[in-house]
Amino acid sequence: MAITFHYEAGSLQTDNRSGCNLLQLAQEAGVHIEARCGGQGTCGSCMVVLGTGRYRVCGEIIEVPPRQRREALACQSFVLGAEAEIHLLQRSLISTESARISESFQLPLFDRQPRFTTGCGVAVDIGTTTVVAVLVRLDSGEILSCQSMYNQQILKADDVISRISLCSEPAGLKTLQRLVIDHTLNPLISQLCADGAVEPHEIVHLCVAGNTVMLHIFYALSPVSIGVLPFTPLQRCFESTAEKLGIAINPSALIEAVPAVSGYIGGDITADMQLSGLANRRGCALLVDIGTNGEIAFWDGSRITACAAAAGPAFEGAGIMCGTRAVSGAIDAIDFDRSLDFKLSVIGESEPIGLCGSAVIDFIAAGFRCGLISMTGRFDIGMLRTSGRYTSVNGAHACVIHRTHDSAKTAAIVVTERDIAEILKAKAAIYSGIKTLLAESSRTVHDLEVVILAGGFASYINLDNAFELGLLPALGTDRYEVIGNGSLAGAIALLLNRQLADDYRLLIDRPYVIHLNRTAKFTEYYQEAVVIPNLCPE
């Protein structure tokens, strides 16, 4: 039996195998479909369009007649007939293009004192989703090139918890380490060298920053202990050589990491705290790094407290029906009023393929303002029907954002009430984490002199819409500082100033880490925050 997969780059034919779903068949054929939940059928990221044929979908036998189409999850679909035509949606494919990166990151002012005074260095931000690398000339501090790529670990497991689970077997740990080094970092280094006219052997120092799980996997250390109480990492400081790790630069090059605070407060937050000067602020200051694990640190003038709020990957498009990462074709901003005449901003100005997290935040905030969306995240169905925007997807009410002329390539882009619920849960985790952290220090959001936003995603958030949604304290934009990718900047700074290695080691012992699941108020605050904006915003 032959199955033909059609996608933008062409077509690929493969044999059907008993017991294999479409996701498995596509991956074995070399077509990488998103599977953010590991093929459990819960995230919706592996949506495909079934052509003429006979299938078993979610246990139900279905027939797709000639010249008709039906959407289905690849992980829940099996081909039963002699042949089938499967159309792959662009948003369901793992992109091989460079990820969008924020060009804004702040380097602190300091006297350059690099550990190595000749040759080049590479600074790397190892994100769960994206890896960004910068090539730096060590004698002058000149940045020669910056490149980014999706962390190819997403081929095996999308989020931190899934990767910890995979590492319970030694083979899983090895696989993930090779994916981030052989298939992500080494190709990035090759691009950096070509762009900067540098030979790989000239790179004598490499500094990395990332969350604690990513650092463990990078250095071939099992992160399994981080996934269970008391969430203790094997190490907080990391160092090795290029030869031992298999990194394609000078074999004796030092591979140094920005150290981690705890199991879920990683080196990326250490870098954020150092570069933002958090503990040097005169008044109360809050640092928020919004991501899959929203890390938060609070300075009350004498003490740093920190926590991690498990927001999940919804802000990166996972679990959203038409969600996508920030690639070409992703809708990254939306604005509209009661007319529901959507004004869309699309990355790369190409045909829209889906919605990234910043756009879904915009949609919910604008929808709440104009009355389309209630405080509990429900649509005004009458308004949707009147404007011709109503549809239903798998029993869920949905709003049509964009209609396509070629359904075989891209289905209509919609937002469902289930999508809204996912975003509300993610934002509730962040906001309740903020309130809990402040309450532990007997403070409220009104005590804050400044809120510092870190991370690439924060650079693209519309702050007013984040306030409307209840994701961040509505203190006015003048009290917010956006420092961009502090993780990357912290790795660059470590290349150029050897004193920072000691500063970082001192800093990681300062925060008092709070485990939200052990606090009395977190659940209460969370329940208050799963509505728009929040029941008790104070």
Q: What is the pLDDT of residues 39-59, one digit of tens each?
A: 777 767 788 888 888 898 988
Q: How confident is the model at residue 219 (pLDDT cuts 50, 70, 90)?
A: very high
CA dihedral 267, 269, 275, 276 (to 10 degrees): -170
Residues above pLDDT 70, as percent of the chain:
93
Please give the average per-residue pLDDT across 200-221, as a whole number: 97
Q: How confident is the model at residue 8 (pLDDT cuts 50, 70, 90)?
A: confident
Q: Which residue has the higher pLDDT, 41 or 255?
A: 255
Token reading at 180: 């981030």
Residues recorded for the chain? 538
**Closest by Cα among 323, 293, 288, 218 to 480:** 288
* Side-chain half-sphere exposure of 414, counting CA atoms within 13 A: 21
Interatomic CA distance for residues 5 and 9, integer angstroms: 11
Mean pLDDT of the chain: 89
CA 130 to chain centre: 7
Please give the average per-residue pLDDT across 246-262, as a whole number: 97
Token reading at 252: 């004796």
Interatomic CA distance for residues 50 and 61, integer angstroms: 13
Report whether pLDDT(211) > 60: yes
Report whether pLDDT(385) > 80: yes
Q: How many of the other CB atoms lie within 10 Å of CB of 462? A: 18
Report whether pLDDT(102) > 50: no
Token reading at 205: 């120092």
Token reading at 124: 């790397």
Token reading at 407: 């359904």
Give me the numbers of helices (H) and strands (E) for the chain, helices first please.
Answer: 14, 26
Q: How confident is the model at residue 293 (pLDDT cuts 50, 70, 90)?
A: confident
Interatomic CA distance for residues 266 and 511, integer angstroms: 12
Which residues of 21-97 form beta strands (DSSP E)? 47-50, 53-57, 60-64, 70-73, 77-79, 83-88
Q: How many of the other CB atoms lie within 10 Å of CB of 186? A: 17
CA 238 to chain centre: 23
| Identity of the amino acid at 180 | V
**Diameter of the chain by CA atoms?**
72
Element containing residue 493 per DSSP (H, E): helix 486-496
- DSSP class of 260: P
| Identity of the amino acid at 105 | F
Look at the alpha carbons of 525, 291, 297, 283 in this order and tell me if their dihedral is positive or negative.
negative
Cβ within 8 Å of residue 476, ≥6 positions away: none
Instruction: Please check whether residue 176 is in contact with residue 217, taking contact to mean a CB–CB distance below 8 angstroms.
Output: yes
Please give the average per-residue pLDDT across 243-254, as a whole number: 97
Q: What is the pLDDT of residues 332-379, one digit of tens each?
A: 999 999 999 999 999 987 889 889 889 999 999 999 999 999 999 999
What was the pLDDT predicted at 96?
A: 52
User: The whole model's pTM is what?
Assistant: 0.86
Domains contained in the chain, CATH given: 2-92 (3.10.20.30), 120-268 (3.30.420.480), 276-313+423-487+501-529 (3.30.420.40), 314-417 (no CATH)
Please give the average per-residue pLDDT across 164-182, as a whole number: 95
Q: What is the pLDDT of residues 460-481, one digit of tens each?
A: 899 999 999 999 999 999 999 9
Q: What is the pLDDT of residues 429-440, one digit of tens each?
A: 999 999 999 999
| Identity of the amino acid at 265 | I
Instruction: Please check whether residue 415 is in contact with residue 363, taking contact to mean a CB–CB distance below 8 angstroms.
Output: yes
Per-residue three-class SS string for 130-177: EEEEEEEECCCCCEEEEEEEECHHHHCCCCHHHHHHHCCCHHHHHHHH
